[in-house]
Amino acid sequence: MAWLFLVVAGLLEIVWATALKFSNGFTRLTPTVIALTTAWASFWFLSLAIRKIPIGTAYAVWVGIGAVGVAVVGMLWFKESRDFWRLFFIGLIVLGVAGLKLVSRDERL
């Protein structure tokens, strides 16, 4: 269950970061409310996950999910660069997150 909480936290990080872009510096009400609400929820799910997952692993996975997700949103929604090196290094983040999950030694999961 802790890993599910962590994935939800990461997905919510993608939502709040994207909403932050649309908030135009917190000048637009709806995206601002979405950004703040989903940021709070993301932190809450992260706090649930770190009850059982080591903080270093959980934080790295949370940031990784958010970073890769926001990069993908940027490429698809905001037409950001999709050049080889950008995709290559995003792929390295994915490998790192997967590797952390594979080597996690927390038996309580």
3-state secondary structure 9-66: HHHHHHHHHHHHHHCCCCCCHHHHHHHHHHHHHHHHHHHHHCCCCCHHHHHHHHHHHH
Residue 109 lies in a domain: no
Its pTM stands at 0.87
Residue 8 lies in a domain: yes
Q: How far apart are the first and last CA of the chain?
A: 7
Task: Tell whether the torsion through CA atoms of 50, 55, 57 and 59 is positive or negative.
Answer: positive
How many domains are there within the chain? 1
pLDDT of residue 49: 97
Range of the domain at 87: 2-103
pLDDT of residue 92: 96
Q: What tens-digit pLDDT sequence spans the chain (109 residues)?
A: 999 999 999 999 999 999 999 999 999 999 999 999 999 999 999 999 999 999 999 999 999 999 999 999 999 999 999 999 999 999 999 999 888 888 876 544 4
Cα–Cα distances in Å, from 10 out to 25, 54, 79, 84, 101?
22, 16, 22, 25, 14
